[in-house]
Amino acid sequence: MLIVMQRIEQVIIWIGLIAGWTLLLPIIVSRFYDIIARQFTDAQSTVVQFIEWDAFFLLVCLIFGFGYFRDAHARIDILRERFSARAIAWIEVLGIVFLLVPFCIVCIVYGVEHATIAYRFEETWWVPFADGWIRKSFIPLGFSLLLVSAMVIMLRNLAFLITCDGQPEPRPPEEDRSDEALKAP
């Protein structure tokens, strides 16, 4: 079971890393072009802005799970550092069960519905020969990655609560398990 959870984490981390490295370049280049074009010419390109917005949209959707595994989301660290390891694990499990899972399910269900409507009405995208449902399907995909990440972290925290072995999850990368999560899936 632990090997399966580790493999899932590796796949989600690699999705996040690949998305980050491939989508960051179009964001930077389009922003740079837009700034230069505004400073020195009157030419503004909406296509360049669409590239930037869509790359950012795809990047955010694809790194939800990665961010959760890497403990890169907002936390109230002032309180968290005062709790025991068991209390941190319990808070994480309860937060996943009562907040994160319902939120992800709602976003997945409505995201699938939104993408289905775009497909049914043959909604187009600004990219030639691309359909709007492709872009909109990244919303449920991103929240599915986050949901799977949350399930892995919840199971690890439950294992920690039962065995008292290890640390509560998620852990920042500097506290990671000897870089096993970065190995190729």
**Using H for helix, E for strand and C for coil, what is the string for the chain?**
CHHHHHHHHHHHHHHHHHHHHHHHHHHHHHHHHHHHHHHHCCCCCHHHHHHHHHHHHHHHHHCHHHHHHCCCCCCCHHHHCCCCHHHHHHHHHHHHHHHHHHHHHHHHHHHHHHHHHHHHCCCECCCCCCEHHHHHCHHHHHHHHHHHHHHHHHHHHHHHHHHCCCCCCCCCHHHCCCCHHHCCC
Domain that residue 9 falls in: 2-182
What was the pLDDT predicted at 91?
Answer: 93
Place of tokens 């917005």: 53
Domains held by the chain: number = 1
The mean pLDDT of the chain is 88
Q: Are 133 and 119 in contact (CB under 8 A)?
A: yes
Which of the four pLDDT bands, split at 50, 70 and 90, describes residue 177? low
Q: Please report, for residues 75, 109, 111, 176, the alpha-carbon distance to residue 170 in angstroms, rounded to integers and kept in the order given.
A: 11, 26, 26, 9
Query: Average of pLDDT values for 65-74?
Result: 90
Query: What are all long-range contacts of 1-6, with beta carbons under 8 Å and residues at least 24 apart?
Result: 1/155, 2/159, 5/152, 5/155, 5/156, 6/180, 6/181
pLDDT at 99: 96
Q: Which residues contact 29 (CB under 8 A, 6 or more apart)?
A: none
Q: pLDDT tens digit string along 89-147? A: 999 999 999 999 999 999 999 999 999 998 999 887 766 557 788 889 999 999 999 99
